[in-house]
A = this chain, B = another copy of it.
Amino acid sequence: MQQQEQKNPPVRPKPVKKYMQGAPLSPWRESLHEIIFEAETPAGKWFDILLIVAIAASILVVMLDSVAAINLNYRTLLFMAEWFFTILFSIEYLLRLLCVRKPIRYATSFFGVVDLISILPSFLALFFTGAQTLLVVRGLRVLRIFRIFKLGEYLGEAHALIRAMRNSRAKIAVFLYTVCVFVVIFGAAMYLIEGPEHGFSSIPQSMYWAVVTLTTVGYGDISPQTPLGQMLASMVMILGYAIIAVPTGIYSAELAREYRRDVTNFACRHCGEEEHDQDARFCKYCGGVVP
């Protein structure tokens, strides 16, 4: 019975969100909350699916709007679609504020802020009219894309990945620090060796080259011309090649450890053998009942 707890991790009660602590709301607002914020009921599920479709469609509109040829021909249509989604998401935002127990808490939570940011740009475009400002506002409008972050809520699969990443956080920090040191040193060295006449016009520019090379991206917009520069660049590449092993190794080992935890480490009461699977109900060695 003590391993019951570790056997069924999904059964543990969901933590109550901060903006839902406090006195209950009127029944219709509570059931609206169920639809908008939860995904357990059929209505809640449909709401979520429709929301995802709407988000994807609104992102598509922003994308198409940036393509010159399409913008020229379908300007009005895109403008209307843009406003359709803005109004839709505004209504959704107001409903969300309406059906939580502490609206301020929700508005200041991560997704509350994201929800607001994803509707603001279109409204801002109304007040700041004028040729040059419009362009800036279009820029803000692009921020709407942050709305897709909300999709993350609907995917419950990412836990093992994120936990392994959090566990190896310190190691990855050390790794990133080492990469930065390499970038600074190799960047400075290449600036000295190649110099501005071969495109390495400043140390920051050379550091950009070092990142491009160390990560094996290799645009080729800046590339060493002198034999000494090419020799050093070769060393950077082989180093980058060898160093790519580090984050992968860290993450692989961490994930493998995650996986190994699946095996319980308690011994069978009957025969004393260990290494039973999480879902075992009988000892696989003696057939005794697993408590």
CA distance A161 to B174 in the complex (A): 9
Shortest CB-to-CB span from A250 to chain B, Å, is 6
Asked whether any CB of chain B lies closer than 8 Å to the CB of A285, the reply is yes
| A65 closest partner in B (C-beta) | B203
User: Contact at A248–B245, with CB atoms within 8 Å?
Assistant: yes
| Chain B residues in 8 Å Cβ range of A192 | 139, 142
User: Contact at A234–B211, with CB atoms within 8 Å?
Assistant: yes
Asked whether any CB of chain B lies closer than 8 Å to the CB of A242, the reply is yes
CA distance A157 to B288 in the complex (A): 34
User: CB within 8 Å of B: which of A138-190?
Assistant: 139, 142, 145-146, 148-149, 151, 155, 157-158, 160-161, 164, 170-179, 181, 184-185, 188-189
User: Contact at A233–B208, with CB atoms within 8 Å?
Assistant: yes
Shortest CB-to-CB span from A213 to chain B, Å, is 6
User: Contact at B240–A249, with CB atoms within 8 Å?
Assistant: no
CA distance A181 to B64 in the complex (A): 17
Q: Which of B68, B171, B283, B286 contacts A160 (CB 8 A)?
A: B171
A142-B203 in contact given A242-B172, A284-B284, A285-B282 (Cβ < 8 Å): yes
Please list 28 pairs of residues, one from A and one from B, whose beta carbons are closer than 8 Å in the complex, sorted by A's number.
A63-B203, A63-B207, A66-B202, A67-B204, A142-B189, A148-B181, A161-B174, A164-B249, A176-B242, A213-B217, A216-B217, A219-B219, A219-B220, A244-B247, A245-B248, A248-B249, A249-B252, A252-B253, A252-B256, A253-B259, A254-B259, A256-B256, A256-B257, A280-B285, A282-B284, A282-B285, A283-B287, A287-B287
The 10 A-B pairs of least Cβ separation, nearest first, read: A282-B287, A249-B251, A217-B218, A219-B220, A253-B255, A280-B284, A245-B247, A220-B220, A245-B251, A66-B203
